[in-house]
Structure 1
Amino acid sequence: MKLLLSFCIGIIAILYTASYHYTFNLRDLIPSTILADHFPANLTTNTTTTSTTNTTNTTPTDIIIPPTDTMTLPRSIRQVFLAIEQAEGAGARVRRSIGTPKLRHLSPFLMLDHFTIGTGAGFPDHPHRGQETITYLLSGGVDHEDFAGNRGTIGPGDLQFMTAGKGIMHAEMPHENPDGAPNVGMQLWVDLPKDLKYCEPRYRDLRSAEIPRATADDGRVTVKVISGQSHGVDSVRDLAYTPVWLLDIAVKPGGRVRQALPLGWNAFAYTLQGATVFGSGDQTRNVKEFHNVVFEQQGEFVEASVPDNAEEEGRFLLVAGQPLDQKVVQYGPFVVTSEEEVYQAMMDFRTASNGFEKSRGWESEIGKRMAF
């Protein structure tokens, strides 16, 4: 068995060397007998693709934020694309804009989902390793429960942060709202630095009332400073081991905002409502809701505005993160840095070992709400 497993790893290594950005499915490469022994059969098929990418960015040792009163270099737009709605989990719907062929990864970001979860749907018990998740709820309510004994409930405007580290198994299930409305939010996966891939898992909440607000342009711009700095408000928080800024920005008709971002960080905006004009001078794009706007690394700030004659405000999430100089090898919920670690993660989860010991026989209470 070990010889056969080594042979499979060798095949993957050859394919990886021959085509650096090639994406393949491990289920096509591993004999079914090994796959059955080392990986659970109930993972969804749209999260079982192994992708390998390598960022050319280096991780800066210091966070350098340009002074807002001397900024002159806006960030250009690299690409803009619509997040197409698709099925995910058990009955949920998501608009995924990172973690797709359009944008496989944007280090340190691995995935971005704009999710809608109705009654009878959700994300029952499932594992993770090697990444952190940030969940920002826009409406409704979502419960969390994991095998480490952590439980939490978030409502509109709240956030939860989970570090998978060496291994976690958890469930995320929606509330049944009295008016029957679905639960809507955002979930961002953030890569862990290689030397922290096997840290202890952790979980924590951040309530909407704890998040400071900033205003600009005579009140026409409002910024929820979840993490980072904006217009004199500093809300740097321990969201993830990899430094991340997360800003929820609303711009009224006639408003304009120039938001400084740390130099050299990767950044994107996801549009939630209305139409927003991104860019400066003659380099602008009018972007409607549910699009991802990816910015170039070079530049000091992002500029956004909403025309005077707009019928509604523009709202978007502006996210920036310190890039990691490491390979990404992802197989569904397992995010590591080598093919060998993928096989080890499957083995560890299947045998409830090396971080997954508590998964043996564990079932969440909230996952039992799922109507199969």
Structure 2
Amino acid sequence: MNFILETQDKDTNARTGTIQTDHGEIKTPIFMPVGTIGTVKGVHQHELRDDIRAQIILGNTYHLYLKPGLEIIQGAGGLHKFNGWEKPLLTDSGGYQVYSLSSTRNIDENGVEFRSHIDGSRHYFTPERAIDIQRVIGADIIMAFDECTPYPCDYDYAKNSMEMTHRWLKRCKDQMDKTDGLYGHSQALFPIVQGSTYTDLRRISAETIASFDMPGNAIGGLSVGEPAEELYEMTEVVTSILPKDKPRYLMGVGTPANILECIALGIDMFDCVMPTRNARHGMIFTSNGVMNMKNAKWKADFTPLDENGTSYVDSVYTKAYVRHLFHAKEYLGLQIASIHNLAFYLWLVGEARNQIEKGTFKAWKDEMVPKLSQKL
């Protein structure tokens, strides 16, 4: 994997670049749709490719390990061939599930024991095992095994967890160095900065992560309940330290406004379940704000979902029709909403890239952020 830094904004830390992988280029800043178990819910691969224009999607190590299982994925020739996605893939290491399964897991220095959410069976992940599993899945970008701390988090716990994450990173790197990919393409390991919302810990973690000189770097443990101000403060601390010539990935973020503010802080890559999860509940993101498609006000509104045409479905479906589908409990409503929201997110980061290249990003961002957050 290689990263080419192209444009640096004159008024902020926003920048554009290109990540080169064996499965194609990724133009940054970029949003990555989440395909937890090998599928972005309710969306075909051709829609991801042609209509949403996704350049990279995610898979989740924990979920794919449990279902369909490594034997099936390896038998198919890796996740690219199993799910028919020919562009780049990224896999989370399972560290976030360590956080989310707090009632059914036990952490020690060697790794994490957990119970499957499917059948209650016991499993054990170590840093080495997380790398081996991601070798089998075959993503282009894979994540180091870490512990994602909750919010709020006691300082001593955050410090001890961060230090263990650093020790686990060394083990992940060693396992990467002594193993090979299985499918003939390269895989890049990204370490993850932790440290909760403590500035000194974030600085230490960012410096430690940077010292490993990996192809890219990720920031974890944010967007877990902390106020937006703390999200931005911690992101700014970390991006001031992480190397400028490597892509920076802010994990699990976030709202459209969050994304623009964090692009301004120097983040290149984002992922979040929000566009599809909220879509399934009738929430539509647009360039003018957020709509609840179940509301009566859209019943006879025959205008596009977004008058600015941020997704291809805007030229086909009206607010009134999509509202009708939700009230009729038709699956097509969920699908249209999911496609629209993902296309909107990709439009947003693409337009941010255009504005950075033109030198007008800050003024555009300052105009867009208040609009993106308002309820229509």
TM-score normalised to the size of structure 1? 0.33
Q: Which has the higher contact order (CA 8 A, sep 6+)?
A: 1
- More strand per residue: 1 or 2? 1
TM-score normalised to the size of structure 2? 0.32
